[in-house]
Structure 1
Amino acid sequence: MATFPVINMEKLNGEGRAATMEMIKDACENWGFFEVVNHGIAPEFMDTVEKLTKEHYRKCMEQRFKEMVAKKGLEAVQSEINDLDWESTFFLRHLPVSNMSQVPDLEAEYRRVMKEFAAQLEKLAEQLLDLLCENLGLEKGYLKKVFYGSKGPNFGTKVSNYPPCPKPDLIKGLRAHTDAGGIVLLFQDDKVSGLQLLKDGQWVDVPPMRHSIVVNLGDQLEVITNGKYKSVMHRVIAQTDGTRMSLASFYNPASDAVIYPAPALVEKEQTRDLYPKFLFEDYMKHYLGVKFQAKEPRFEAFKNMENTADLGQVATA
């Protein structure tokens, strides 16, 4: 098994740039995931984010999670649970409009730190999208422009904790899925592992590394690249000891962004559009009902809708 791709972003500034860009290209084409280090977010600041996130979980979420487990009798399950994830989670929306002031129980310092963290991650996401454009031969800013819609991208952070689980063979921390959106930036616990991705039919651990950011590609990038880059199935395995922290920040298209294969790529590869054209909002509505199923039928459903729409236009012409 090839080793999980780790990209040192400092090397983009010197003579190692070409080799580093090649590593990113290979990761996007063959893994759908990579891990970045020296990405510009200060390690001390990341330590503060981690400390406050873990404190917030202990103060405000842990007891609630224990009560849910007791109520559902999850400690005593005898067979596999397929409709539930062993996670404690809440969502912070940053763009186009922040919900930070409405989320209950957040202390002022935690709100301030998460706002700053989101601003730095947004910058990193846009930098990474431009690196992808460069590798794909698309004009700089193409992906950001496609994501923009009328109000700018959707950007938010899912804050999750995965407490120790007595039956990790029967309950997943998070069931296998691909991400619906654009590009995902994950700050994960460096002591408690659990994240795995599916590569060549095998589940591979995403290594926990201190101060790294794990990057993975969502369904929208698969569509825009006409399948050159793929979104990849991944899951979280619950552990019997230690609580795993996960901050997954999703940089997604605007609700009214129109998503379709980049014409320049279709022409360059001399292929037809293998993927449909749709509104991101419509895709998300569909995705929510089928998140834990294979992605191909999702694309197929929109391809069929597109064909039907085309036929309708022909009939009325």
Structure 2
Amino acid sequence: MGKNTTFPVIDLSKLNGEERDQTMALINDACQNWGFFELVNHGVPYDLMDNIERMTKEHYKKFMEKKFKEMLRSKGLAALETEVDDVDWESTFFIRHLPKSNLKDIPDMSNEYRTAMKDFGKRLENLAEELLDLLCENLGLEKGYLKKVFHGTKGPTFGTKVSNYPPCPEPEMIKGLRAHTDAGGLILLFQDDKVSGLQLLKDGDWVDVPPLKHSIVINLGDQLEVITNGEYKSVMHRVETQKEGNRMSIASFYNPGSDAEISPAPYLVDEESEYPSFVFDDYMQLYAGLKFQPKEPRFELMKNAAAIADLNPVATMETS
């Protein structure tokens, strides 16, 4: 597993006391040097988190486990004999919260599970917006700047990926989730506190993100790197498979709206930025095919696309 390094754990309740400045400095350092940090005392009720964990694991056993095993057989992964680098060892489903919820359309969810997920999603949405304003404060941006950029004309997009990483007989042969940076904005992760597996790449070493009960792991996506002009950076991370234990992962993504215009904040640019400007949906279309590759070529492609568009504006023609 990863190198032993002190991972940043931040007590959010200290923002309300004498240690506010120190806590803000810890958040800033984590964003600059890690791209990840772990929140405790974040305000999301622990009993809600416990219920979500229980129901997520029950849902997997009852409705997802058989499908996962069928997937393994269909892809020839039931018996791993050689290393696999184009498939992830995970069972997932997706919930959309914003701009319009699809919770009622998710199959096999109990009413109790749906209600809890709706409550959980709203609380994480509020926490994400609180964190964005804290980042603004640290960066010297006006309060609400990041939320305004993310809003576009239709509001932000917000959704949750519910994942289970079942035991793998040959963990050295396949990743639970291959290394990547996240495309979007701010990611809030409720992960299993008993089964580890999440790692990030720091200074050339893979470092474990420690399982910590009732914590929420925060990581920064590509959009925040662009908007902050590289002051904060998205970081490569992956999930290692384990021989024992089924790891639960509930990752919620607070992203810009599809038509949000993303560019480096002028306040953070001295002369000319190395980062591109683009519409978020255009970036997502590019990311879909390049997720498991380094982010820098994606940024360069978006920059080149903008330059080409400037040189060759699309001709318009009136039609009757």
**TM-score bracket relative to the smaller structure:** over 0.9
Per-residue CA shift, 1:177-212, capped at 9, x if unaligned?
Answer: 000000000000000000000000000000000000
TM-score of the aligned structures, taking structure 2 as reference length: 0.95
TM-score normalized with structure 1 length: 0.96
Contact 1:75 1:167 in 2 (8 A): no
Are the equivalent residues in 2 in contact too, given 1:52–1:110 (CA < 8 A)?
Answer: yes
Q: Which residue of 2 aligns with 1:158?
A: 161
Q: Which residue of 2 aligns with 1:300?
A: 300
Aligned letter for 1:154? T
Aligned to 2:277: 277
Measured after TM superposition, the shift of residue 160 of structure 1 is 0.1
2:170 maps to 1:191: no
**Structure 1 match to 2:212:** 209
Report SS of the residue matched to 2:78: helix
The equivalent residue for 2:112 is 109
* Equivalent-residue separation in structure 2 for 1:70 and 1:287 (angstroms): 29
Opposite residue 241 of structure 2, the aligned amino acid is A
Q: Paired residue for 2:78?
A: 75
Are 1:22 and 2:25 counterparts?
Answer: yes
**C-alpha deviation, 1:299, in angstroms:** 0.2
- Once the two structures are superposed, residues 142-182 of structure 1 have per-residue CA deviations (whole angstroms, 9 ceiling, x without a partner) of 00000001111000000000000011111100000000000
Give the aligned partner of residue 287 of structure 1: 287
Residue 143 in structure 1 maps to residue 166 in structure 2 = no
| SS of 1:74 mapped into structure 2 | coil
* Structure 1 CA distance for aligned equivalents of residues 272 and 8 of structure 2: 31
d(CA) in 1 for partners of 2:50, 2:278: 40
Looking at structure 1, the residues matched to 48 and 79 of structure 2 have their Cα atoms a distance apart, in angstroms, of 40
Counterpart of 1:101 in 2: which secondary structure? Answer: helix
Aligned partner of residue 75 in structure 1, secondary structure: coil
SS at match of 2:103: coil
CA distance in 2 between partners of 1:77 and 1:61 (Å): 21
Which one of 220, 225, 233 corresponds to residue 222 of structure 1?
A: 225
Give 5+ residue unaligned stretches, structure 1.
none
Distance 2:74 2:260 in 1: 41
- Which residue is 1:312 aligned to? 312
Give the letter aligned to residue 161 of structure 2. K
Give the match for residue 95 of structure 1: 98
Give how far 1:70 is off: 2.5
| Deviations, residues 223-242 of structure 1 (Å, cap 9, x unaligned) | 00011111000000000000
Q: Which runs of 5+ in 2 are unaligned?
A: 314-320
Once the two structures are TM-superposed, the CA of residue 75 in structure 1 deviates from its matched residue by 3.2
Structure 1 SS opposite 2:158: strand
Q: Secondary structure at the match of 2:259?
A: coil
CA displacement, residues 86-131 of structure 1 (integer Å, 9 cap, x when unaligned): 0000000000000111111111110000000000000000000000
- Is contact 1:11-1:17 (8 Å) kept? yes
Q: Distance in 2 between matches of 1:76 and 1:62?
A: 17
Which residue of the other structure, out of 173, 177, 193, is the alignment partner of 1:174?
A: 177
C-alpha RMSD of matched pairs (Å): 1.0
CA shift for structure 1 position 265? 0.9
Tell whether 2:54 aligns with 1:36. no
Look up the equivalent residue of 1:288 and give its one-letter code: A
Given that 1:194 and 1:236 are in contact with CA atoms closer than 8 Å, whether structure 2 keeps it comes out as yes
1:2 Cα deviation after fit: 4.4
Kept in 2: contact 1:75–1:166 (CA 8 A): no
Q: State the aligned residue count.
A: 310
Match of 2:318 in 1: none
Tell me the CA shift for residue 312 of structure 1.
Answer: 3.4
Post-superposition offset of 1:76: 2.0
- Could you tell which deviates more after superposition, 66-75 or 283-292? 66-75
Rate the CA distance shift 1:69–1:312 in 2: closer, same or farther, 3 A.
closer
Structure 2 CA distance for aligned equivalents of residues 282 and 22 of structure 1? 34
Q: Percent identity?
A: 69
